[in-house]
Amino acid sequence: MAERTSIDTILHESRIFPPPADFEQRIGGSYVTSLEAYRAMHRRSIEDPEGYWGEAARAFHWFRPWDRVLEWSLPDAKWFAGGRTNLCFNCVDRQVQGGHGEAPALIWEGEPASPSGYEIRRLTYAELMREVCRCANALKAMGVRRGDIVTIYMGMVPELAVAVLACARIGAPHSVIFGGFSAQAIADRVQDAQSRTIITCDGAWRRGHLVPLKANVDEGAAIAGGVTNVLVLRRCGNDVRMTPGRDRWWHEFVDDQPTDCPCEPMESEDMLFLLYTSGSTGKPKGIMHTTGGYMVYTAHTARTVFNLRPDRAQVFWCTADVGWVTGHSYIIYGVLPNRVPTLMYEGAPNFPEPDRFWDIVERHRVTQFYTAPTAIRAFMKWGDAWPRKHDLSSLIVLGSVGEPINPEAWMWYRETIGGGRCPIVDTWWQTETGGHMITPLPGATPTVPGSCTLPFFGVDAAIVDESGAELPHGKGGLLAIRRPWPGMLRGIHGDRERFIQTYFSRIPGMYFAGDGAHRDERGYFWILGRVDDVINVSGHRLGTMEVESALVSHPAVVEAAVVGMPHDIKGTGIAAFVTLEPHFAPSDDLRADLAKHVAKEIGAIAKPDVIRFTDALPKTRSGKIMRRLLRDVAAGADTGQDMTTLEDLSVLARLREGEE
């Protein structure tokens, strides 16, 4: 479905927007100023990646220089081997030592409105460093050592950034779990990482409601076992149960710690973090990122793609949650080394009213704004009157990430939010890639609504067939990356085989992204969507099998098949086809109960939009569920009605046997 729409789009899209004439002047100097300059630099970066990345890496602080920029033995990349650095040092200490201790590092706004306005906190680099040191010392005092994996399950509060940086400071890899995930999801991740320490909050604010984070941690820790330390930040003031000997309050324990803590010199290839993401099996995989390459890649892409300039009064706002890779890379790690303040907002875009984002842009004079198509589509639906109430003239660059952006949303973003004067950078990348891979550069690349345009420096992207042969422009195929890049994942935690199978087996000798794509006659890339059993719901990645496993763990369910379906706001919605145990009858109550069950097993983001009861699932003769057929049925579904008979499905199935 999505595929057909996109190909249609490509064939008919002829609008092209060169970088605005006044961009150079508004941004105060663009790093790359023309398409020709981009092309020449890209060519050089592909011919001599070690030269390119070696030079980029020199912009950072290293305790010890690297011996070699790259050692590559498929599928293992070592970047800056022999080098020692610390990413927290590069985010914070370096700015303080460089005389910028009083410059703004983090601007935070809380969600709740009070009569005196919103709660706003501004941390300078010096303040951030003190907070990070205290937290790092607290972790050490709790017994956390270099190499221990620390789980972080918090709302979007400044202490989340502090906790992440504190882990990086002492060389304890973090595993941040999105605050919308359930207790069971926490348990799975804690167990897989064998993590004994969790940092959390009493609760989080979301659209005026309280999310009971600590209660979820208690339940998750009970399922997982082995958790010996829980550090709890008081944010909402809700009642929580503190387990003596295991749980400590942040304000009692962290605030008392000394404000200096040396940065641990880390090897380039030491693990920086684990981040769990969905794949095509039921079990989320812990994507491993390491220190040196990830640091250079995220900060260098952030600088170039958003044209971050510390010499101008810029404020960078990425609206993602730190629980996803976008927040890791473009709220924290990619931004702070560039000495541009990063804005963090706690809550929902429509609280208390649908203009909250635009109100924030206006009040904080945001210059670069980075969000997801699903949010843009929601804003379109809420109407132009909300953004029109605000002065958005501070904006210079607009970014999009997480899923394909439909040209209608792209145009609305450009005109209504950007006033027609801000380039849009539609950035294609993944949890696994660490940072941007295919993206326009705002001062250089003419943009086309719906296309993520051209590969970043050092990225050798191609559209290939299953044998790895490059396809001519105009032909759809698999999106592959033919050479290593510094931000690439280094593995799946505890599962080497799955790492090789998932990314380096389908196309010989190349990284397989899991996306289908296409290049137009200009050579621009168009992402058609996932070609595996992963769906992208509101820019959040979910495995259909994960949702299926959650459904079949309900006593009423015998079998379930989950597919994506087109959804106006979410991009892709979730449709579930479910067969029931004989003594359960289809009903709306059961439907609601199943949705609740999925939310409990995974999180609210995984709740199916449509649940259809059927007496059997359509299968091929060899017993494979005919997913394409179900996708077509789901795409035509406008109601959650039960299918009266499965006859229709089985007739369809017989007709289409062999197509799957």
Shortest distance in whole angstroms from residue 282 CB to ligand PRX: 17
Q: Interface mask (CB under 6 A) for ligand PRX, residues 443-472, using x and -?
A: ---------x--------------------
Q: Rule CB under 6 A: which of 272-311 touch ligand PRX? A: 277
* Site of tokens 């605000």: 390
Is the C-alpha dihedral spanning 33, 39, 44, 46 positive or negative? Answer: positive
Distance in Å, CB of 529 to ligand PRX, minimum = 6
Judged by CB, which is closer to ligand PRX: 66, or 181?
A: 181
Tokens 């145009």 appear where?
411
| SS3 assignment for 199-259 | EEECCEEECCEEECHHHHHHHHHHHHCCCCEEEEECCCCCCCCCCCCCEEEHHHHCCCCCC
Which residue number, 205 or 456, has a Cβ lying nearer to ligand PRX? 456
CA angle (24 as vertex; 21, 25 as ends), nearest 5: 95
- The residue within the footprint of ligand PRX, chosen from 174, 493, 518, 530 (CB under 6 A), is 530
What's at 383, amino acid-wise? G
Q: Which of 220, 399, 404, 458 binds ligand PRX (CB under 6 A)?
A: 404
For ligand PRX, the closer of residues 292 and 373 by Cβ is 373
Say how far apart CA 563 and CA 28 lie, in whole Å. Answer: 47
Closer by beta carbon to ligand PRX, 333 or else 429:
429
Q: Which residues contact 121 (CB under 8 A, 6 or more apart)?
A: 106, 107, 108, 158
Under rule CB under 6 A, residue 430 binds ligand PRX: yes
* 533 in contact with ligand PRX (CB under 6 A): no
CA neighbours closer than 13 Å in the CB half-sphere of residue 315: 19
Q: Cis bond leading into 352, ω under 30°?
A: yes
The tokens describing 360, both together, are 């924030």
Site string for ligand PRX, 131-150 (x = CB under 6 A): --------------------
Q: What binding mask, one character per residue, do residues 372-401 give for ligand PRX by CB under 6 A, x or -?
A: -----------------------------x
CB of 105 or CB of 507, closer to ligand PRX: 507
Q: Where are any strands of DSSP class E within 428-556? A: 461-464, 477-481, 491-492, 511-519, 525-530, 534-537, 540-543
Q: How far apart are CA 228 and CA 246, in angstroms?
A: 6
User: What is the number of other CB atoms lying within 10 angstroms of the CB of residue 362?
Assistant: 18
Interface stretch with ligand PRX, choices 49-57, 79-87, 190-198, 427-435 (CB under 6 A): 427-435
| Interaction of residue 515 with ligand PRX, rule CB under 6 A | yes
Could you tell me which of 587, 629, 635, 585 has the C-alpha nearest to residue 609?
Answer: 635
β-bridge mates for residue 316, sequence order: 342, 368
Pick the piece of the chain touching ligand PRX (CB under 6 A) from 75-83, 113-121, 426-434, 566-574. Answer: 426-434
CA distance 595 to 576: 10
Options 214, 356, 541, 612; binder of ligand PRX; rule CB under 6 A: 541
For residue 333, the 8-state DSSP code is I
502 binds ligand PRX (CB under 6 A): no
Q: Which is nearer to ligand PRX, 109 or 403 (CB)?
A: 403
Nearer to ligand PRX, 217 or 480 (CB): 480
- CB-nearest residue to ligand PRX: 431
How many angstroms separate the CA atoms of 525 and 404, rounded? 11
527 binds ligand PRX (CB under 6 A): yes
Q: Does 325 bind ligand PRX (CB under 6 A)?
A: yes
CA gap 138, 79 in Å, rounded: 31
Q: How many whole angstroms separate alpha carbon 192 and alpha carbon 220?
A: 13
Q: Are 608 and 547 in contact (CB under 8 A)?
A: yes
Radius of gyration of the chain (CA): 24
With respect to ligand PRX, which residue has the nearer C-beta, 109 or 515?
Answer: 515
Residue number with CB closer to ligand PRX (287 or 556): 287
Q: Sign (positive/negative) of CA torsion 399, 404, 410, 412?
A: negative
| Residues 281, 549: Cα–Cα separation, whole Å | 10
* 86 lies in the site for ligand PRX, by CB under 6 A: no
CB of 569 to ligand PRX, least distance (A): 16
Altogether, the residues listed in the chain come to a count of 660
CB of 515 to ligand PRX, least distance (A): 5
Size of the site for ligand PRX (CB under 6 A): 21
Considering the rule CB under 6 A, would residue 326 count as an interface residue with ligand PRX? yes
Secondary structure of 536-589 in the HEC alphabet?
EECCEEEEHHHHHHHHHCCCCEEEEEEEEEEECCCEEEEEEEEEECCCCCCCHH
Binding of ligand PRX by 182 (CB under 6 A): no
How far apart are CB 442 and ligand PRX at their closest, in Å? 15
Minimum CB distance to ligand PRX smaller for 23 or for 410: 410
Among residues 514, 543, 603, 608, the one that binds ligand PRX under rule CB under 6 A: 514
- Indicate whether 403 belongs to the interface with ligand PRX (CB under 6 A): yes
536 binds ligand PRX (CB under 6 A): yes
Binding site for ligand PRX (CB under 6 A): 277, 325-326, 401-404, 426-431, 452, 513-515, 527, 530, 536, 541
